[in-house]
């Protein structure tokens, strides 16, 4: 098997194992962006949910990185010889898709909502 197929397997395993935490993050993100702006006196709730969202993302990052340690101690990778580079690619892809990507997209939407004019290179550098 090649590096990408190993990485795909580890990525899908991480998604399957962390699906409950991903659903919690989705619910918190939707609550922050959709619910609170429409409620009249919910100003004190928004920072609380934002803090919970960031805390959940930090917790998810730690769980994903430590789920398959480099020493391969009694885990999924103990019985499946997977190259270390495949593990690194899978973890980087997972964090990009579920941590960096949503923040970047949210930032783009917020800048568009506020009306900040940016060039194409500015969007790439965000």
Asked, for residue 12, whether it belongs to a domain, the answer is: yes
State residue 65's pLDDT score. Answer: 80
55 half-sphere exposure, CB direction, 13 A CA radius: 7
Asked, for residue 56, whether it belongs to a domain, the answer is: yes
Cα 25 to Cα 55: distance, rounded to the nearest angstrom: 10
Asked, for residue 77, whether it belongs to a domain, the answer is: yes
Burial (Cβ within 10 Å: 0-12, 13-18, ≥19) of residue 44: exposed
Asked, for residue 30, whether it belongs to a domain, the answer is: yes
Asked, for residue 74, whether it belongs to a domain, the answer is: yes
Cα 81 to Cα 72: distance, rounded to the nearest angstrom: 9
Closest Cα to residue 100, out of 49, 64, 70, 48?
Answer: 64
State residue 44's pLDDT score. Answer: 63
Cα 67 to Cα 16: distance, rounded to the nearest angstrom: 12
- Which single residue is written with the structure tokens 């922050």? 32
State residue 34's pLDDT score. Answer: 67
0.75 exceeded by the pTM?
no
Asked, for residue 48, whether it belongs to a domain, the answer is: yes
What is the total count of domains within the chain?
1
**Domain housing 25:** 3-98
**Which residues of the chain have a pLDDT value below 50?**
73-74
Asked, for residue 114, whether it belongs to a domain, the answer is: no
Tokens encoding 5: 């197929």
State residue 1's pLDDT score. Answer: 64
Asked, for residue 112, whether it belongs to a domain, the answer is: no
């Amino acid at each position: 098997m090649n590096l990408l197929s190993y990485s795909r397997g580890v990525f899908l395993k991480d998604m399957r194992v962390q699906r409950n935490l991903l659903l919690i993050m989705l619910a918190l993100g939707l609550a922050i962006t959709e619910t609170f702006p429409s409620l009249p006196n919910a100003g004190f709730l928004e920072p609380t949910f934002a803090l919970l969202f960031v805390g959940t993302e930090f917790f998810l990052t730690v769980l994903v990185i430590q789920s398959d340690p480099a020493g391969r101690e009694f885990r999924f990778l103990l019985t499946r010889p997977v190259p270390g580079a495949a593990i690194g690619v899978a973890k980087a892809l997972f964090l990009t898709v579920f941590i960096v990507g949503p923040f970047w997209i949210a930032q783009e939407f917020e800048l568009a909502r506020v009306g900040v004019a940016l060039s194409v290179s500015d969007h790439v550098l965000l």
